[in-house]
Structure 1
Amino acid sequence: MWKGKKSDAPPELRAAMVRVEKALYSWPYWEKRRGFLVNDIKELSQRLKETAVPGVSHTYGGRASSNYGDSEEERRLMEKEKDRERLIQLEDEQRAVCGYLKRLADAVDVLPGDEAAIIRRHYFEGMSWSAVGNCCAASSTYCFKHGTMALQRLAILLYGIDIENVGVYESQP
């Protein structure tokens, strides 16, 4: 791990740590977004099941209607098609959000010792460093220091930073 302040870390590592920290701070937003997507998908799926469209074209005077969207049935069919397209977009977004959250949670899960708990409490639950310290029976300085080390580990895990070629490192047993 980098010895020293985050601001003194090599630029590549510092940039990765900033990206990780932004991702961690955005966790609550993405959790809410995932919940909204689940609800939107359920609602739209239900609406698609409820709105059955009968036949599309009518014959007028022996001829089939040729003006697209003229009849009420054609208009409902077009709306249903738009709903299907929107459902596909929502499902794609849901997969992306869930994949993002899973990747981040999996990376936090492999952190050693108190680091995972410190990261979860500070970033996922929004606790201050002193509140995290109270929960972990440690000082806020300890939590901040270990939180910074966890950010470094997450940067390496998520962005594949080669710490040996970035700068001074501390080998772990």
Structure 2
Amino acid sequence: MDDVELPILGTEPLVVEFANTLYGDEDFLGTTELAVLWFTTAHAQPARDTAAARSLRDSIHSLFTATVTAAAPPATAIVHVNAAAAQAPTSPQLVRQPTGAFVAGPRGTATGDAALLGGLATACIELLTDDRARLLRRCESPGCCLFFVQRHPRRRYCHESCAHRDRQARYYRRRAAS
């Protein structure tokens, strides 16, 4: 299982990396072992319920796909993401310090899968309702379908390796045409 190359860019928000676990025909959450490997590699607590994680990932993936293609998002995906986010309620806690000053305490009140999946669902909502939603892109390299957040206006690829493959393909097409 260690020889599996996971689609983790390492530069994107965790929710984008999570959506990228559905890569073409590959499902990197398809088995419990793959799911544990992905969550561990992504430095997240592995989900105990991999079916719930896959289901949430599918909803997030469909919302991201609708966003990058300017299509209408599936209503069921919106309902699912909202329901998952609601499972991990957070609220600021007022904590009084020994000095008498007040500070905001920890926000998380959920634990386990509810916290993990709720956090991912919340991150999806925040990404799609923020200005960054217009910067969510799909890699333009042929054969690649990873999502990324375009932080530079000229960025068209998820990773430098995809840009390199595309440059090579263009070079060989030009050489063949001459």
TM-score by length of 1: 0.24
Answer 1 or 2: which has greater strand percent. Answer: 2
Answer 1 or 2: which has greater helix percent. Answer: 1
Larger radius of gyration: 1
TM-score by length of 2: 0.23
